[in-house]
Amino acid sequence: MIEQTSTHDRRSGPPPQYNPDRCARAFTTARTRVVGEIDSTLGQVDPEEAARFVREVLAARRISVLAAGRSRLSVEAFAMRLMHMGFDAHVAQDVTAPAVGPGDLVLACSGSGATPGVVRMARNGADSDCRVVTVTGNPGSELAGLSDFVVDLTEYGADRAPRSSEQFVGTLFEQSAYLFFDCSVIALESLGYATKEEMVRRHTNLE
């Protein structure tokens, strides 16, 4: 039997005791809170703004996505679905990422809009005559300022108040960005740009 160890700092006192009933109640409360916050945040997105985002994707010769941390996971998942739909999509930080230029789209995703590496790479894209589109929780940020188009994903709490999430910093943006991208995929499917059968054929068969 493997002995379980705790990372609790014992200098701050004994670790809390596991209580299954309390844990179950906490999970139920958290589930309601998280779903409510995501609904509030995505509910604030202007559908016309979302439609323009889809148009930017459709107009691109090639799409390069970039982000950092958990935001990168969200936008990488979108790049994967774009590839499944037949778009020429890449992750900018991957070693196989091609050069960018006129006609290409650089899609940046950053909650703060101030992550240095993301800002630098987006500026490089702009300097290379790419369109730069940013999904951010801070539309007044440096990253938003250098973009051609910005999707505002400001965090809203379950009470519909801006920036009142009870989750750890940035978490709600990352969740909402992931689902915003998934909704955009469904919008593209509804326009007839790919069928599920076509997407399945492009899915990796190396797994």
Alpha-carbon distances of 45 from 41, 131, 138, 152, 176, rounded to whole Å: 7, 21, 13, 7, 10
**In the structure encoding, which two tokens stand for residue 181, read together?**
């991208």
Torsion over CA: 55, 58, 63, 69 (sign) = positive
Q: How far apart (Å, rounded) are the C-alpha atoms in residues 114 and 138?
A: 9
Buried b / exposed e over 126-152, threshold 16 CB at 10 Å, is: eeeebbbbbbbbbbebbbbebbebbbb
Which H or E element spans position 133?
strand 131-136
**In the structure encoding, which two tokens stand for residue 135, read together?**
């999904």
Q: How many helices (H) and strands (E) does the chain have?
A: 7, 5
174 noted as active-site residue: yes
**In the structure encoding, which two tokens stand for residue 185, read together?**
């995929």
Find the catalytic residue in 48, 166, 174, 207: 174
**Could you give the residue numbers annotated as active site?**
174
